Chains A and B, each alone.
Chain A
Amino acid sequence: MVGGGGIGGGLLENANPLIYERSGDRPVTEGEEDEQVPDSIDAREIFDLIRSINDPEHPLTLEELNVVEQVRVQVSDPESTVAVAFTPTIPHCSMATLIGLSIKVKLLRSLPQRFKMDVHITPGTHASEHAVNKQLADKERVAAALENTHLLEVVNQCLSARS
């Protein structure tokens, strides 16, 4: 699905990227502390799930690299749908598929099963946008990719809490 090259050594594709600010923790509201009030799953909640994913090559999060943004998250709790668009830092980024896969896996592990999820590249921001989107939308290819030990290792590293 993607090559493992470029990870863990050699030159970085983009050694000095733009850095964006991290948003703070979501403040806990009174409603959230009230046992009775149900809190629906909203865009910020989805964004909180994916913003701390580590970038495969920088010691930075996807949020700090502006790869994911809250405005590019669409969610409908009643209809059980989530759509996340992500923006690679450069149009030829070879990590795009890997980043997409990490986002997808994070959502698969963190959202109720009822959700139908769509992870794709922000239109017009990557050279091989359609190919990547197609790979990410194909359930079987995602499943097959996660059978690959090396790939799973990299994805797990992206999803591990930073030490």
Chain B
Amino acid sequence: MRTREEELKGLGADFTFGFIQVMDGEKDPRNLLVAFRIVYDLISRDYSLGPFVEELFEVTSCYFPIDFTPPPNDPHGIQREDLILSLRAVLASTPCFAEFLLPLLIEKVDSEILSAKLDSLQTLNACCAVYGQKELKDFLPSLWASIRREVFQTASERVEAEGLAALNSLTACLSRSVLRADAEDLLDSFLSNILQDCRHHLCEPDMKLVWPSAKLLQAAAGASARACDHITSNVLPLLLEQFHKHSQSNQRRTILEMILGFLKLQQKWSYEDKDERPLSGFKDQLCSLIFMALTDPNTQLQLVGIRTLTVLGAQPDLLSSGDLELAVGHLYRLSFLEEDSQSCRAAALEASGTLAAFYPVAFSTHLVPKLAEDLCTEESDLARGDGPTRCSRHPRCLQALSAVSTHPSIVKETLPLLLQHLCQMNRGSMSPGTSEVIAVCQSLQQVAEKCQRDPESCWYFHQTAVPCLLALAVQASMPEKEHSVLKKVLLEDEVLATVVSVIATATTHLSPDLATQSVAHIVPLFLDGNISFLPENSFSGRFQPFQDGSSGQRRLVALLMAFVCSLPRNVEIPQLNRLMRELLELSCCQSCPFSSTAAAKCFAGLLNKHPAGQQLDEFLQLAVDKVEAGLSSGPCRSQAFTLLLWVTKALVLRYHPLSSCLTDRLMGLLSDPELGPAAADGFSLLMSDCTDVLTRAGHAEVRIMFRQRFFTDNVPALVRGFHAAPQDVKPNYLKGLSHVLNRLPKPVLLPELPTLLSLLLEALSCPDSVVQLSTLSCLQPLLLEAPQVMSLHIDTLVTKFLNLSASPSMAVRIAALQCMHALTHLPTPVLLPYKPQVIRALAKPLDDKKRLVRKEAVSARGEWFLLGSPGS
């Protein structure tokens, strides 16, 4: 057929008839696949079928629905699904089959067999792509009856989903067909039928059939703009009326949720003419209904109300400015709800964000001023000692401010407010608490994230916030006589960490030009104490974090790190050579661990991005010398180790050749009596993703396969090291190994498993609970994904897991029980001999003193009971 199409077509319908005779009675699945393919070609390449359409249909459709189970050890690898799909392609290839196929499909949907139902519905769905009104006309009532029954009564969610999908394509097919002027529009009558059968169920929001009915209507309405119009214009008035008829909150919630479903469908179709929009007539009623929902005491109803408001607001030009003012008022109120309606408050904030992007003016006129006022009022409340109000309203106000900063024009109002608030806290008479400063910084962080999408806002944020934050920090680091304690809040680890993420977020998306402008100010600030670009720069002393500055000043190197390590790679950093040397010096000096770690991270971050070449080699040599000097002598060993760790990470990420050397050095430290445990934990840092430096978002060079590569390069050595190590340091090797395995993508781990499994099983007997936990969390997915390999060790696994389910550590008990649960995925015959023993043993953790442990025990034991038992 491929090469002689002309000649074969010349034979006319005789060829088709001949083929039908040959195919008749075929049983071998291999031949069937070919035969289906040929029939498909006959139809799609327009061979003459002549009078044999029905015969051709008969000879193929007799296989429908496919019921084929490949024999075990089937060498041909033909799956049931292959046959189903190729037969479906044939049956759904032409409208000519419709008169024969549709009755067959209806019959099979009505059958008792689940797979037949599914296959028929899916085939119907496929047919709708080629059929028109003509083919469907006579069968519509029966098709609808069958689909309705399946959706109303089914016990299977898949049948329901396929039924809805079939209804959707049926409706789409009816909407698509071109009509003759005099013909009856089948779409209208079909939809009217659906409405008639479903309408009354919508009026009983407590009953089971309410949702199936709504889903059917929504499936039909989702098919075309015309169908959507027809159904919405019928259903919306009904639902609006029902909402008022039912007074219970949960009934109202169901009704509103249905309304929401129909409103969402509207978004699929765009209407060019404003008057044509079907929703404009219902707008006022919908708004008043939403506002009723928003003031209802029932949280669930409020939540649906908020979601409906968001969807309605997303409809272009629908809401009037009056509606918006009211809506903003409600959202403002909801943003300050009490602790127990957390979900509602979060939803209100999210809705504010979404709507503010559409209607920035409404939010800046009606919401931002109120929030600004709240921030100030609190200051005076504070003076009157009105503590509780301040505690609860304060963070919410900040969250609301950051939530609405979704439009550039709003950011220009909210950002100054937040910064001003921070400055006032710093200047105020009372010491601000750590948590309050962190709350402001978190808000700034969220605003920064929202600004990243728009280059202009991004630069605005960077230019406004970064100098201000640096100025505050520098001021806090100055030696002062009075208030010295209060100002130090800004220098606490946690606070600095949040400021770090604000600065990093505000930097990553800068364009290289603008970043170059900024770097020319910030690097000299740290190296030379050049404070001229800071907004307030009259300080009591000099800023010299790298020279003799106070420990407070040295801590601010973290902020430098946040900035320079987030810059795009092609931005040149002034005085880089000097900067690197200073960082190296600070990283190994005996100050507080926070500043030395920050310096090490900053050094590593810059190293990672630096182009290969002589300068990079020089930096590396300096680093290696520094590390070796530090590790050999006493006082700075742990600082030198931290530097080694971060430099190694920077190089591992970019596949630098020196990385293997440094990793070996690190592995050698596993048997160091003092640094061994830290080195073991270091492997976790090497394999995990950092949040502040060496991130892809911060333009670091992170090769995608670095974990795999690290695994292949280093795990054999770790295993050898483990076997050679003296007993007391063996746990360090196990711990290092389990960190590496834990972070590895499972597909990479699976082939290596047989060689490592014995080690992992040994690790289960290791007394260190960190090793136990990480080994269990490594084994759990393997039980699910590699049941065959794990089956070989069933005896050990059952014994060790059961032992660990009595561990003193709650986390280990939970993980062990989760593994017991995962064991049930192994082949049942392997498990059955252990069933009585396991069920008996799992009775004990059912009485564990911790509820979370009991919960895992219950689900594991329940699954073991079902093993090999009928009905499971």
Contact = CB atoms under 8 A, between A and B. Distances in A.
Interface in A105-163: 106, 109-114, 149-150, 152-157, 159-160
Contacts of A21: 250, 300
A33 B811 CA distance: 9
B843 interface: yes
Interface centre among B209, B852, B862 (most CB of A within 10 A): B862
B208 A58 contact: yes
Contacts of A106: 862
A48 B872 CA distance: 21
Nearest to A105: B865
A17 B207 contact: yes
Interface stretch (A8-16, A67-75, A92-100): A8-16
A28 to B, nearest CB: 7
Interface in A12-65: 12, 15-19, 21, 28, 32-33, 35, 38-39, 41, 45, 48-49, 58-60
B331 to A, nearest CB: 24
A42 to B, nearest CB: 9
A2 to B, nearest CB: 15
Contacts of B250: 21
Interface string B851-862: 110110010011
Given A156-B869, A156-B872, A160-B871, A113 B852 contact: no
Contacts of B871: 152-157, 160
A18 B207 contact: yes
B850 A38 contact: yes
A58 B210 CA distance: 15
A111 B211 CA distance: 36
Contact of B206 (A15, A18, A45, A153): A18
A48 B855 CA distance: 9
A116 B155 CA distance: 34
B853 to A, nearest CB: 9
B206 A49 contact: no
Contact of B208 (A17, A49, A109, A159): A17
Given A15-B153, A110-B846, A112-B847, A28 B869 contact: no
B177 interface: no
B186 interface: no
A106 B863 CA distance: 11
B846 A16 contact: no
Nearest to B157: A59
B208 A112 contact: no
A118 B809 CA distance: 34
Given A18-B207, A110-B862, A59 B851 contact: no
Contact of A59 (B155, B850, B865): B155
Interface centre among A9, A35, A58, A154 (most CB of B within 10 A): A35
Nearest to A14: B208
Contacts of A160: 866, 871-872
B154 interface: yes
A32 B852 contact: yes
A140 B866 CA distance: 21
Interface string B828-872: 000000000000000100110111101100100110011001111
Contact of A156 (B152, B153, B866): B866
Contact of B810 (A16, A35, A110): A35
A59 B846 CA distance: 28
A34 to B, nearest CB: 9
A9 B112 contact: yes
B156 interface: yes
Interface in B300-318: 300
Contact of B870 (A33, A112, A156): A156
Interface in A74-96: none
Interface centre among A9, A109, A114 (most CB of B within 10 A): A109
Contacts of A111: 846
Contacts of B154: 59
B851 A33 contact: no
A100 to B, nearest CB: 17
B156 A32 contact: no
Contacts of A159: 862, 866
A109 to B, nearest CB: 5
Contacts of A60: 208
Contacts of A18: 206-208
B567 to A, nearest CB: 40
A33 B852 contact: yes
Contacts of B866: 156, 159-160
Nearest to B112: A9
A19 B846 contact: no
Given A59-B156, A109-B862, A110-B846, A16 B208 contact: yes
A28 B211 CA distance: 31
A58 B680 CA distance: 54
A155 B153 CA distance: 21
Interface in B195-223: 201, 204, 206-211
Given A17-B208, A39-B850, A58-B208, A152 B870 contact: yes
A117 to B, nearest CB: 13
A45 B208 contact: no
A79 to B, nearest CB: 14
B869 A152 contact: yes
A36 B725 CA distance: 36
Contact of B850 (A19, A32, A155, A156): A32
A17 B210 CA distance: 10
Nearest to B870: A153
A86 to B, nearest CB: 19
Contact of A19 (B207, B862, B872): B207
Nearest to B863: A161
Given A109-B862, A109-B865, A111-B846, 10 more contacts: A16-B201, A18-B208, A21-B250, A32-B851, A58-B155, A59-B154, A112-B846, A152-B869, A156-B870, A157-B871
Interface of A: 9, 12, 15-19, 21, 28, 32-33, 35, 38-39, 41, 45, 48-49, 58-60, 106, 109-114, 149-150, 152-157, 159-160
Q: Which 7 A-B pairs give the minimum distances between C-beta atoms?
A: A153-B871, A156-B871, A112-B847, A38-B849, A153-B870, A39-B851, A110-B858
29 contacts: A15-B153, A15-B209, A16-B204, A16-B207, A16-B209, A18-B207, A18-B208, A19-B206, A21-B250, A38-B849, A38-B850, A39-B849, A39-B850, A41-B851, A45-B851, A59-B154, A106-B862, A109-B861, A109-B865, A110-B858, A112-B843, A112-B846, A114-B847, A149-B870, A152-B869, A152-B870, A153-B870, A156-B870, A156-B871
Interface of B: 112, 152-157, 201, 204, 206-211, 250, 300, 809-810, 843, 846-847, 849-852, 854-855, 858, 861-862, 865-866, 869-872
